[in-house]
Every structure is written in C-alpha cells, then in structure tokens.
Structure 1
Amino acid sequence: MKNLKIGIPTMSLSRPGLHPLPDKLQSAALHGFQGIELFIDDLTHLASSHFNNSLLAAASHTATVCKSLSLDIICLQPFGFYEGLLDRSQTNTLLEEKLPLWFQIARILNTDLIQIPANFLANDPDTNTPRTTGDLDVIVSDLQTIADLGATQGFRFVYEALCWSTHIDTWESAWNVVRLVDRENFGLCLDSFNMAGRIYADPEAPSGKTQNAETILAESLARLRDWSRSGELDVKKIFYIQLVDAERLSSPLDSTHPFYVAGQPARMNWSRNARLFPCEEERGGYLPVLEIARAFFDIGFEGWVSLELFSRTCGDPRAGTHGEHAERGMESWRRVVGALGLGVDVPVKSQTQIQGQRGIGEEGVVQHRL
C-alpha cells in the first residue's frame, strides 16, 4: 500500500475573503482531507477582517483551528515573482523584508515548506520591456540564495513550473533548475494541470489541444520514467504533487472570450477560471490526468497529493460553496484511487475526525468564534 496523504489548497475551497478561512478548514476536515496548502491571500483576509492586519495573529489562530481539526499545513504559498528579477533592488526587498516575515508565519503554522512558482512577471506595462531574465545562472543563483537562507532557519522550498511562466514552463526545465540549485531543502512540485496545460492543451486553439498533443505528452512522461529509472531524477526531491483537470472551452480563448484579460497569457486566464478536479469529465474535463498521475506513482512518489483547483465556481458567494468543493474534491480522489488501483484508504464524509473537540455545533462542525 502506498503512503499517500490527501490535501487541498484553501483557495480551492472558495475565493479568499469570500468565506471565513476557519469555515473552509472545517469543510476540508469534515470531508476527510488530511492537510491543506495555505494560500497567503486567505491569511491576509483573515488578518484584515479579525486581527487588525496582523498576519502573525491570523497565523496563530489558523494553526489552532488546524490542530483542533487534525489538519496538517502542507505548505505556505505562493512566494511569487522572486527569481530572475532584473531590478535587483526588488530581489533584496523580498529577501530582507518579505522572506523573514514568511519564516515567522510558517513557523507559527508549524509548516517547514514554502512554495515558489516559477516567475511569470509580465513586461513593464509602460515600456513593454522585460522585468525578468531567462539567464539560468541568475535564476539558479537566486534560488540557491533563498534555499541557503531557509536552511539556516529549518525551512524547505518547493519549486513549480506554471504553464504560462515566462522562462521555466515545463516540468523538465523546473527539474533542471532544482538539479542545478542542488540543495537538500529545495525540491520540485509536479502538477498535472501545468504539465498538460503547456504541452497537451491550448485554450487558444479550436480543438483545445496542441498539435501532436498525445505524442508530445507520451514523450514527456517517458522522460519522467526514464530519468527516474536512471537516477537522473531523484524522486525524493519531489516534495509533493498536485492533481487537477480543466475544462475544454467551447470556443478559443481570444479577446472575445469572457475569460480574456488583456495583458495576461491565455493559459493563465484559462487556469484562473476553468480548472476541474480530476475525473470530472461530466463537467468538461479533458486533460489526461489519470495518465499523468499513473506516471507520478509509477516512479515511486509517496507523500502529499494536493488537489489544486482554481475556478470561477470558487467565486460563488453561497454559504455552501466551500463544502461543495470539498465534497467534489474527495469524490475526485476516490475516483483516482479506484481508476489507478492505488490501494489506499479514501476518507469518507464523517465526523469522526472532529468528534470530541470542544465546541461541536449542531451540524457536527467545530465552532471557532473570532
């Protein structure tokens, strides 16, 4: 039996600030999730609404809620727009001001992991000049610096290629960065959406797919298996994985599409509006998530599996939105486990994880009054 734990990001339950963070945490626990990725915007909204903008106080409350619900905090994310900046004063500000605060927050949250998405900072809107470099030496050096600072504090970092990142937009290029950074506390996140979204899917195409999509994906997954077998890829440096699907759009995502946002990559606009949980074909899912997930598990991955959903459905203001997303997510995980024969126990909707806690409400949910 594989050692897999199932988690969900807080922003995948509903948009930050739309529903109270403690309510979202309760929904995750009630539906059987074992951990959450904490989205910094959720913490910021909690701090501004209840803790006089104190992120540290909000983190302390969140840690208390998670402990009462037996929820682990997988990571704090995203520490974005960091590596490869051309304006080095911005780099210094991130390292000298933002990073120490994140270390304090993460320590309070009892997580040692901070996620860094590959930089997708757009060109300067006034001059259209680049604000990042693709110079691999600069990117690697920046990430070595942050990894070394983290190591002195007991923290790890996980790096993820986004399918719209400016320079590092495939899992292969992200792994090459991790390999070159060469630090024990610096690893990789593999994400089915970002993998397929770059080489298999194209939301600007009428078909929703790239040319030769199946062949290109098969070659990429073959590399994943081959590199793992040969030792070129160290599976232990995959700190966690994310599984998620997306909708095939009914029309190309061009300037006439309702998801279009000027100045943003089409894949980013698609991602923000149209992700789905795995195995939700009935909602329009079409990415080969099971094929990708099978490759992840074939190479021996064990640990946290997170269902990172972004979707317009997360913006539904109804009180039940976060519960519905938690329920959909766990049903999705059940389908993945069944389809791949993973042989792991799938949590069922139950109150057993939260029974005996102080302040159980009428519906069996722990009450955390703010």
Structure 2
Amino acid sequence: MALNYASLTTIPISYASCSLGPPSSPPPPPLLDRLDAISAANFTAIELSFPDILSYGETVLGHSPEPKDYDELVKVAEAIKKECDKRKLGVMMLQPFANFEGWKEGSDGRKDAWERARGWVRIMQAAGTDMLQVGSTDTPLENLDLDKVVPDLQGLCDMLKPHGFKVAYENWCWSSHAPDWKDVWRIVDEVGRDNIGLCLDTFQTAGGEWADPTTESGLLDDVSKIELIHRFSASLEDLSKTIPKDKIYLLQISDAYEVPEPLSKEADESGLRPRGRWSHDFRPLPYSGGYLPVVDVATAVLRTGFRGWFSYEVFDGGPDGKGKKQDLASYAQTAFNVQQRLVAECAGKKFPQKQ
C-alpha cells in the first residue's frame, strides 16, 4: 500500500550543524553563517554538534575551551541557543556522544564515559535540547564487556530522566558491537526505558547492509547481486514491521559516493575502520551522485508509521573525498529541495528534478 503523501509533507526537518560546508577543509565555515543558511532554507531545527561548541568557544570566550571544561562549555552552549532563537531554530539534539557503553569495570574508558555523560547533561540544559545522540561504540571489542552495554544505557537513561531528556541510539555501520539496525533495536528493547529510542540513518543502514567501500563493486560481495537485493529488501521489510513508530526518534538522511579506489579493509593509524573513513568524506545529499538506496530505507522507516524528524547529516567531500567548494545558502536550499523530492518518491510520486 502506498504511503499517504499528505502525511509526509508535515514531517519536521533538521540539519546537523557540523555538516554544512566541506568536511575536509578546516577550519569549517563560521557557525553563524551556517545557522543563517539553515534558517533561510526553512529548516526548523539543528542537531548541535559538540565540535561546533568547541570551535564557537573562540567567539564567546576568546579562546577554545577544553573538551571537559563544562563550566565554559555551558556558557558557549547558552550563546549558541540564543543565536538559534534569533533565527527561529530549535536545537533538536546534541551529538555525537561516542564510545560510551560497555567499558570494562575499573577502566579509564569507563570513568571517562560517565564523566562525559554528566557534563553533556549540563550542555543539553544550556542548549535547550532534550535529546542526546549516542552512537553504537566502535571501541575495540577486547576493551569492552558486552554484558555492560544494556546496564550502561539503562544508567544513562536514568540519569537523563529527571531532566525530561532522552537517548537516541544510533547504529554506526563501523561499530564494533552493533553495526546494524537490528543490533541497536535489540539493545534498545532490552534497555526497556521509555526515554530511549532509535536514531536511524539512511547511510548507516544501507552503508552497512548494502554497500562496502572496500570492494571493487562498492557493494557487499559475499552474495550475488540478486541475493543482495533480496536480502536487503527483506531487512527493510523486517524493519518496517518490527520497530514501533514511537521508538524511532529521528531519521538522518545522506547518501554515499562510491570511492575512487577501494579502501583498505584494515583500520587506519587512529583505529578507524573503513566505513568510518568513508563516512567522514563521502556522504553527499541524495540525488547528488551517490549510489545508496536512500528512498528504499526512508520508505521502510515511514512504513512503521513514523512521521518525526528527518535530519540532514552529510559530509560531502566530493566524489574524490578531497573537498569541494560549497555555497552555504544554496547547499542548504538544495537540502530542503531534496526533502520535498524524497518524501514524494517515498509516496510513489514523481518529482520534478530541479536541483
């Protein structure tokens, strides 16, 4: 049965603050310029990126704050909220809270994770947001105790609950323990708290179950193309029938370029796996030269009945991943146009290809 198009036209849209401007050309464009472009393109909220808090600190404080100086970070977050208010932008979510769950008892990683959690709660209060994105950790398995993943997330939910805050748990397709939507859904279900749900992502889903930046074809090659199509379709069908709509907090939108040369299957010197490297520089807007089945993923999510946030999180370094010049205003407007086309195609409608 086709999705009701009218129900898709009211979906609220957000843009990740970190993902406007080329990802490989530091420093990024000034935050206020990005907020201006996002607001002018009729987005109603941002995902506030922690690196943007650090970089905007230079404007607010006259120096870059330390990542754990929460007194100063709170001041910066308050200033960013004021700038968002001026532009009629909400702060939909604080992101990305990484490498949190599953550290072994007594480890420095565990101590650091909970220290950061307490500090980020303060930042959320200052920024005026009620949602924290937690990415499924890519900490090496030898450093984890997987029996602690669910209790850790329960503890985080319980820490956030008195503030009216919630956790959006995302499968990162290079995660060491939960790379697929089924993995994070199983964990969220086991956590069993009413303030945890899913941050689903077209890149993370298709980039893990459909595509592979280390192969010549750019696709998973453990099965034939026909079998891959059937397997991925079955996974999306399962998603649409398995996850309750109220357990999806947002859907992040991006596509992926096929890399010019297959990436090494080994982690790089920083420990980042190939899909993580791919994610950093090869994620354009849909309809901009990528090859992931974005419409299929979005349609499956919408078939759950979900009509919440669609949020654009792209890292567009161009087809070669080396960065390309972007006009912030026109890029943000293109993202808005993509949203119109995407929901139309999810409903089975043809859409004029103007962007």
Fold equivalence (TM over 0.5): yes
Q: Give how far 1:100 is off.
A: 2.5
Q: Give how far 1:311 is off.
A: 2.9
* Deviations 1:260-290, CA, capped at 9 Å, x for gaps: 767421111111111111222xx2x111110
- Aligned position for 2:136: 118
Q: Which amino acid aligns with 2:286?
A: P
Residue 180 and residue 255 in structure 1: after superposition, are their counterparts in 2 closer, same or farther (change >3 A)? closer
Q: Which amino acid aligns with 2:233?
A: A
* Deviations 1:167-204, CA, capped at 9 Å, x for gaps: 00100010000000000111111111111111100111
In the aligned structure 1, how far is the partner of 2:59 from the partner of 2:112? 26
- Aligned position for 1:331: 337
In the aligned structure 1, how far is the partner of 2:78 from the partner of 2:140? 34
In the aligned structure 2, how far is the partner of 1:31 from the partner of 1:292? 24
Match of 2:11 among 4, 22, 35: 4
In the aligned structure 1, how far is the partner of 2:324 from the partner of 2:343? 31
Match of 2:144 among 111, 125, 132: 132
Residue 156 and residue 323 in structure 1: after superposition, are their counterparts in 2 closer, same or farther (change >3 A)? same
Residue 342 and residue 70 in structure 1: after superposition, are their counterparts in 2 closer, same or farther (change >3 A)? farther
In the aligned structure 2, how far is the partner of 1:93 from the partner of 1:202? 32
* Aligned-pair Cα RMSD in Å: 2.6
In the aligned structure 1, how far is the partner of 2:278 from the partner of 2:179? 16
* Deviations 1:124-158, CA, capped at 9 Å, x for gaps: xxxxxx2223x2x3100110011101112221111
Q: Give how far 1:310 is off.
A: 1.8
Match of 2:233 among 178, 195, 218: 218
CA contact (8 A) 2:53 2:73 kept: yes
Q: Give how far 1:255 is off.
A: 7.9
Residue 262 and residue 99 in structure 1: after superposition, are their counterparts in 2 closer, same or farther (change >3 A)? closer
- Aligned position for 2:316: 311
Q: Which amino acid aligns with 1:194?
A: Q
In the aligned structure 2, how far is the partner of 1:268 from the partner of 1:68? 35
Q: Give how far 1:326 is off.
A: 1.2
SS in 2 for 1:159: strand
Residue 252 and residue 42 in structure 1: after superposition, are their counterparts in 2 closer, same or farther (change >3 A)? same
- Aligned position for 1:365: none
Q: Give how far 1:17 is off.
A: 4.3
SS in 2 for 1:180: helix
Q: Which amino acid aligns with 1:221?
A: L
* Deviations 1:317-351, CA, capped at 9 Å, x for gaps: 96x543343133122212212322489xxxxxxxx
The normalised TM-score by structure 1 is: 0.81
Residue 241 (structure 2) pairs with residue 236 (structure 1):
no
Match of 1:43 among 37, 50, 53: 53
In the aligned structure 1, how far is the partner of 2:190 from the partner of 2:164? 21
Q: Give how far 1:49 is off.
A: 4.3
In the aligned structure 2, how far is the partner of 1:33 from the partner of 1:113? 18
Mean CA deviation greater in 148-157 or 200-209 = 148-157
Residue 281 (structure 2) pairs with residue 276 (structure 1):
no
* Deviations 1:64-117, CA, capped at 9 Å, x for gaps: 11111111111001111110112544323332x322221121112111101100
In the aligned structure 1, how far is the partner of 2:270 from the partner of 2:111? 30
In the aligned structure 1, how far is the partner of 2:155 from the partner of 2:89? 31
- Aligned position for 2:353: none
**Pairs aligned (count):** 325
CA contact (8 A) 1:37 1:75 kept: yes
Residue 155 and residue 208 in structure 1: after superposition, are their counterparts in 2 closer, same or farther (change >3 A)? same
Map residues 295-310 of structure 1 onto 2, 5 A cutoff. Answer: 295-310=300-315
In the aligned structure 2, how far is the partner of 1:57 from the partner of 1:104? 10
Q: Which amino acid aligns with 1:37?
A: E
The normalised TM-score by structure 2 is: 0.85
Q: Which amino acid aligns with 1:328?
A: T
Match of 2:112 among 68, 77, 93: 93
Residue 41 (structure 2) pairs with residue 22 (structure 1):
no
The list of structure 1 runs, each at least 4 consecutive aligned residues, that deviate by more than 6 angstroms after superposition, is: 259-262
- Aligned position for 2:78: 60
Match of 2:219 among 203, 209, 217: 209
SS in 2 for 1:247: coil
Q: Which amino acid aligns with 2:50?
A: I
SS in 2 for 1:246: coil
In the aligned structure 1, how far is the partner of 2:348 from the partner of 2:246? 19
